[in-house]
Amino acid sequence: MTDRIRPTRAGLFAIELLIAVAVFTLCAAFCGGLFVHAEVMSRDNEELNRAVNEARSVAECFKASGGDLTETAALTGGGVEDDTLLLTLDGGMTLKLAVRQEEGYVAGDLTVTGDGGQLLAWDVAALEGTS
């Protein structure tokens, strides 16, 4: 009745190993979450960067062509449908430039939409008959 179970070195080592594995698993789970979050954020950044660059390029082509949508489409490689320039970008993004004639200039609403919704919306305008 009075016999005690003496802790052996192997037993202590096993307990330490178990605790180490448990702590490391917790730490790895937390850090894995951070890594995944950073990766998602990085992809979103890349998408927004690409959208801004493409939108800037289209806006400058639109301005340089004096508001001519056909010429803008030829320069950017997009298609024209009902006064709207449509351009499919990498990563499943779509760029739309809907134009309307105003007095003395052509105004347009430039939007880029991705999988997660609208990424950006700008007003662009081009003068007619200026040098």
Partner 1 sequence: MRRGGGQLSGVVSLVMIFCSLCLCVFAVLTFSAADRERTMTEVAARQAAEYYNADSEATARVAQIKQQGLAEGDTAVVNVPVGTEQTLVAEVRQSGGELQILRWQTVFTGDWEKDETLEIWDGN
Which residues of this chain interact with partner 1, rule CB under 8 A?
A: 8-10, 12-14, 16-17, 20, 23-24, 27-28, 30-32, 34-35, 37-39, 41-42, 44-45, 48-49, 51-52, 55-56, 59, 63, 102-105, 107, 110, 120-131
The distance of closest approach from Cβ of residue 36 to partner 1 in the complex, given in angstroms and rounded to an integer, is: 10
Nearer Cβ to partner 1, position 12 or 74? 12
Q: Tokens 């009745």 belong to which residue?
A: 1
Nearer Cβ to partner 1, position 1 or 29? 29
Nearer Cβ to partner 1, position 48 or 75? 48
- Output DSSP code: residue 90: G
The distance of closest approach from Cβ of residue 1 to partner 1 in the complex, given in angstroms and rounded to an integer, is: 27
Nearer Cβ to partner 1, position 28 or 74? 28
CA distance 90 to 112: 12
Nearer Cβ to partner 1, position 57 or 84? 57
* H, E, C per residue of 58-117: HHHHHHHCCCCHHHHHHHHCCEEECCEEEEECHHHCEEEEEEEEECCEEEEEEEEEECCE
The distance of closest approach from Cβ of residue 81 to partner 1 in the complex, given in angstroms and rounded to an integer, is: 22
CA distance 124 to 47: 21
Residue 99 C-alpha from the chain's centroid: 25
